[in-house]
Amino acid sequence: MAKFLGVRQSFWGHAPGPPGFFVDFAPVKFRTNEVVALLEAGRKVVVLDNLSNSSYEAIERIKKITGVLVPFHQVDLRDAAGLREIFTEHPEITSVLHFAGLKAVGESTKIPLSYYDQNVSGTVNLLKVLEEFKITNFVFSSSATVYGDVTRFGDNSMIPIPEHCPKDPMSPYGKTKHFIEEILMDHAKANPGWKVALLRYFNPMGAHPSGLMGEDPLGIPNNLLPFLAQVAVGRREKLMVFGNDYPSRDGTPIRDYIHVLDLANGHIAALEKLEKIKDDELKGDEGYCRAWNLGTGHGSTVMEVIKAFSKAVGRDLQYEVTDRRPGDVLDLTAKPIRANSELKWEAKIPMDKACEDLWKWTTMNPYGYQEAPEKKD
């Protein structure tokens, strides 16, 4: 059963306006920025999260920034009855932004069944419920990990990575994203009227410039920047760099880091694209499904990111090189030309600004959305 934690009339009691949006999200920084971007664009939003690794405080922070306390439901995507309650209560919902799921490459190699269950099974369950309620606009949070190790082509023809690059994910996490993409493609092909955007994120970084919202994973972070931020405020002793023997300019893996606000704007652009597609523009008895890379087109090594964030902090941060991590690849740099031309979108915020925003969030919230632990005598 869904647990409702929001205040309905604080937002939904207004006169008719733009279509409503249903956003399910896990505890990652760009989810809350997505909600803020939608609200600032005049959209109505309902949020779902199972709170397994996150805090309701994020919803309160959204209110501080926008003045809106969005309706929030605590429910798992595998709970069909709970989902039906939400869509019954909010008939104004016309589109879904699907972010929910487990998201760590390394962790996925240790508990793959949990990833397949929550990510793939949860998505299939959500799609079945959406069919019942005839909600057919769907934006999926995919990942550049679906491409796998693009150096396998040998001639660097797929670096930076275009959307037509053959997919070959190397981790269970990446495979869940790949499987979900295939499911959505099949579903759209079989169902006229469905409009699906597959947004392949590269590496989100930064935080909301207000310092009120940022990534706050409970426990030990699995991603580079959140872990480095905890090192900077003394919550962790040092960062572990997984491998310095890659064939890159400094031996560490290369990733395309994109500011969370640029990523949020990419979602708005994708939604607007889906909304502009008329049913008579679709292929006969098929729906619409299209993939776009969301990245900057510029790759940075792990060591370059450490240097950039250390600059924002004002001191060198401690790290230690260890063995490669299972599932990691050499280079994940986007070729974002399709999104630039078709969505009229591009990433604009530089890495230095992203590091400054992340450091502001970290200094204002050294323990994330949680209270500082009591000191032991």
The burial of 285, by beta-carbon neighbours within 10 Å (0-12 exposed, 13-18 middle, 19 or more buried), is given as exposed
- In a domain, residue 376? The reply is no
CATH number at residue 46: 3.40.50.720
3-state class of 163 per DSSP?
coil
- In a domain, residue 114? The reply is yes
| Distance from the Cα of residue 335 to its chain's centroid | 18
- In a domain, residue 349? The reply is yes
- pLDDT reading at 150 higher than 90: yes
The per-residue pLDDT of the chain, averaged, comes to 89
Q: The domain containing residue 309 runs over which residues?
A: 21-364
Count of structural domains within the chain: 1
pLDDT reported for residue 6:
33
Nearest by Cα to 362 from 221, 238, 237, 231 = 231
- Other CB atoms within 10 A of residue 153 CB: 12
- pLDDT reading at 88 higher than 80: yes
Question: Is the model more confident about 26 or about 240?
Answer: 240
With bands split at pLDDT 50, 70 and 90, how would you rate the model's confidence at 349?
very high
Of 11-25, 64-78, 204-218, 244-258, minimum mean pLDDT range: 11-25
With bands split at pLDDT 50, 70 and 90, how would you rate the model's confidence at 367?
confident
- In a domain, residue 145? The reply is yes
- In a domain, residue 135? The reply is yes
Cross-strand bridge partners of residue 254: 301, 331
| Helix (H) or strand (E) run with residue 258 in it | strand 257-259
Q: Which of 147, 173, 201, 246 is catalytic?
A: 173
Model pTM? 0.90
With bands split at pLDDT 50, 70 and 90, how would you rate the model's confidence at 239?
very high
- In a domain, residue 6? The reply is no
With bands split at pLDDT 50, 70 and 90, how would you rate the model's confidence at 218?
low
pLDDT reported for residue 222:
73
* 56 is annotated as an active-site residue: no
User: What is the spatial distance between Cα 14 and Cα 9, in angstroms, rounded to a whole number?
Assistant: 8
Mean pLDDT, residues 258-269 taken together: 96
- pLDDT reading at 3 higher than 50: no
DSSP state of 118: I
- pLDDT reading at 373 higher than 80: no
- 356 near 308, Cβ under 8 Å? no
Cross-strand bridge partners of residue 374: none
Cross-strand bridge partners of residue 137: 95, 195
Nearest by Cα to 37 from 198, 353, 267 = 267
With bands split at pLDDT 50, 70 and 90, how would you rate the model's confidence at 221?
confident
Question: Is the model more confident about 52 or about 107?
Answer: 107
| Helix (H) or strand (E) run with residue 331 in it | strand 331-332
- Other CB atoms within 10 A of residue 366 CB: 15
Q: What are the residue ranges of helices labelled H in 285-367?
A: 302-313, 337-342, 351-364
- In a domain, residue 288? The reply is yes
- In a domain, residue 201? The reply is yes
- Other CB atoms within 10 A of residue 241 CB: 19
